[in-house]
Chains A and B, each alone.
Chain A
């Protein structure tokens, strides 16, 4: 009996570790996009985007003042949806 319980706990631990590394992977990808649209397109890469005209100015200006905010929103909702799905896949959701 005791052996079985140990076995079960070990399996949970293993699955928890897999759940966590899947989560960290999603976080890292999301944060790369987060940095790309704000620090990237909005500031550092703006000179590269200056050829693309948007309403009297360029794409970098749009990203700095509006585009990045829209992408941030998309990222948070994507993460919430993806993680809630991941919770169910690993059976770690709350009742």
Chain B
């Protein structure tokens, strides 16, 4: 059986499973559609949250970014896990106690202002749509590869699948489907990593193998990797090269953003008790950590494998020959990935060899020129988003592992895209339509407007996903910045302080607007290419990249909210009581539909 058929088989079987579950657990009422009737166990909820959370960015994108940058991209690892601490300590238990369905309902009630609710809905939609763009990038890569078509075709097919999938059921269908998706994606991520770790270090646990010895050379794996990439003129893998201030700020943005993303917070509305909300965040992080502790190993080992393939006799030997790439079965993955347009090589100096090195480093260029390999790097394109999907092929693993990884990558992208579409649609139909514009809308009408909102969101995201503002994980990082600057501060101030309605609205608006403008200035207005005035290599403010600006936005949000709140009337008595009641678990009871 050829690889294409195996991939189709794995992807097809996993899809049949998800759709089967979605039909079996189809949502009947609106309350089930949004919050699964609150009958979800903390462990189940944790697993579903993990699937919801770990998207194309974590699965497809992150290890690639770590592989090609090394230590400096540890920010993704710390940022996307550290946010759960904030979520568990500062938000989850209190929002569960409050007992409504959506994030904007809390903001609207706590700040006794329909305006606050509408502003929250807008913040939520902006962050979520940006997030979906990142997912669509990943979906395009995954579908492009497994259907063996171009990235663009893959993206368009993927968009149709995501849409069909998301309209099928509400949260309940999604919750159990996501448990299945978690199982598929974690197997798909860890199984190849275990194989590769065994090949390179003899240790079956990738997280331990990373800090173990490289079997072939007897040296520590990371020391070996540092040496070989340095020989080719790249930055040492474990060393720190970038700007420390920006690194701190970026990590903080990802952390705050994690705690401010509506589709994750919504999960904590669905556990039975306040105590369970505290445990749920922990369980979610357990399941997330399984992937996040493996990811740095995947990155480092893939980097070593790729470098070894391009320099089969070490960096002082000959580079790989074109003949070998085209003829040797171990190099087949290069031809397959070339079809997607995400991998490219070119024998620029016509010596029949492909030399891979850092041609921005003059010393290395001189060295390569002397050795006769030319002045230019000939591995011209290696899209970071293909690394994880190509990894099992690079390591020459059996066909079924490759099929499994294709299914896992799609599970990751699909589960998150579906969760986000649900958050967007509930914001539009529940908070905007039923809550504000048309309070008398029927249940049927509400479900209909939810589905229309999903359709619009996916069309916009697909269009922008064709020219994404960065690799999957980078686009997703922008979404976190937006959530960090708008939603998180409002929620936190709602629970921990007595900031009033005007303060909250002013804070959210200024946080969102400033951050959005900063991002647009660097990534192009509405992410349209070539409309940017600055680049992240040379940012407007010192060393602060647009991806790191979320933390600054959050600070602005807090500062504006406190200042405005101080200058205006204090909160009324009943809101004071609401804040007091949210702080103690006693009498949480079942949540009620506020409208």
Contact = CB atoms under 8 A, between A and B. Distances in A.
Contacts of B255: 38
A68 B84 CA distance: 12
B240 A54 contact: no
B85 to A, nearest CB: 5
Interface stretch (B131-139, B190-198, B501-509, B578-586): B578-586
Which of B244, B255, B586 has the most A CB atoms < 10 Å from its CB? Answer: B586
Contact of B588 (A13, A23, A94): A94
B47 to A, nearest CB: 15
Interface string A4-26: 00000000010010011001100
Contact of A46 (B88, B240, B252, B273): B240
A76 B281 contact: yes
B78 A64 contact: yes
Nearest to B247: A43
A77 B88 CA distance: 9
Contact of B89 (A30, A39, A65): A30
Contacts of A44: 244, 248
Nearest to A38: B78
Nearest to B209: A55
Which of B78, B248, B251, B278 has the most A CB atoms < 10 Å from its CB? Answer: B78
A61 B210 CA distance: 11
Interface stretch (B10-18, B217-225, B335-343): B217-225
Contacts of B278: 76, 79-80, 83-84
Contact of A69 (B71, B281, B292): B292
Contacts of A80: 88, 275, 278-279, 281-282
A16 B85 contact: no
A46 B72 CA distance: 12
Nearest to A34: B85
B220 A56 contact: yes
B88 A79 contact: yes
Contacts of A20: 583-584
B132 to A, nearest CB: 26
Contacts of B279: 77, 80
A39 B296 CA distance: 18
Contacts of B364: none
A92 to B, nearest CB: 4
A9 to B, nearest CB: 12
Interface in B177-217: 207, 210-212
A31 B89 contact: yes
Contact of B77 (A55, A65, A87, A91): A65
A16 B293 contact: no
Contacts of A84: 275, 278
Given A42-B78, A61-B238, A66-B293, A94 B273 contact: yes
Contacts of A94: 273-275, 585-588
Interface in B287-327: 289, 292-293, 296
B466 interface: no
A92 B591 CA distance: 18
A58 B584 CA distance: 43
A2 interface: no
Nearest to A67: B78
A73 interface: yes
Interface string B383-410: 0000000000000000000000000000
Interface in B251-271: 251-252, 255
A77 B282 contact: yes
B89 A79 contact: yes
Contacts, number: 138
B285 A87 contact: no
A76 B584 CA distance: 19
B222 A69 contact: no
Contact of B585 (A31, A77, A93): A93
B30 interface: no
B493 interface: no
B352 interface: no
A87 to B, nearest CB: 6
Given A16-B580, A76-B88, A69 B289 contact: yes
A73 B586 CA distance: 26
Contact of B282 (A34, A65, A76): A76
Contacts of B247: 43
A64 B74 contact: yes
B514 interface: no
Which of A58, A62, A80 has the most B CB atoms < 10 Å from its CB? Answer: A80
Contacts of A69: 77-78, 81, 289, 292-293
B90 interface: yes
Which of A30, A66, A72, A92 has the most B CB atoms < 10 Å from its CB? Answer: A72
B461 to A, nearest CB: 30
B276 to A, nearest CB: 9
B296 A66 contact: yes
Which of B82, B289, B296 has the most A CB atoms < 10 Å from its CB? Answer: B82
B3 to A, nearest CB: 32
B494 interface: no
Which of B85, B219, B223, B587 has the most A CB atoms < 10 Å from its CB? Answer: B85
Given A27-B89, A69-B289, A92-B585, A54 B211 contact: yes
A87 B275 contact: yes
Interface string B68-80: 0001001001100
Interface in B329-377: none
Contact of A39 (B238, B248, B587): B248
B8 interface: no
Nearest to B588: A94
6 contacts: A24-B496, A34-B82, A38-B255, A55-B212, A64-B74, A94-B588
Given A39-B252, A57-B220, 16 more contacts: A23-B583, A30-B89, A39-B251, A56-B238, A57-B238, A61-B71, A65-B74, A65-B77, A66-B207, A72-B81, A73-B282, A73-B285, A77-B282, A83-B93, A83-B275, A94-B275
Interface of A: 13, 16, 19-20, 23-24, 27, 30-31, 34, 38-39, 42-44, 46, 54-58, 61-62, 64-66, 68-70, 72-73, 75-77, 79-80, 83-84, 87, 91-94
Q: Which 4 A-B pairs have the closest CB atoms?
A: A56-B220, A55-B211, A64-B74, A56-B222
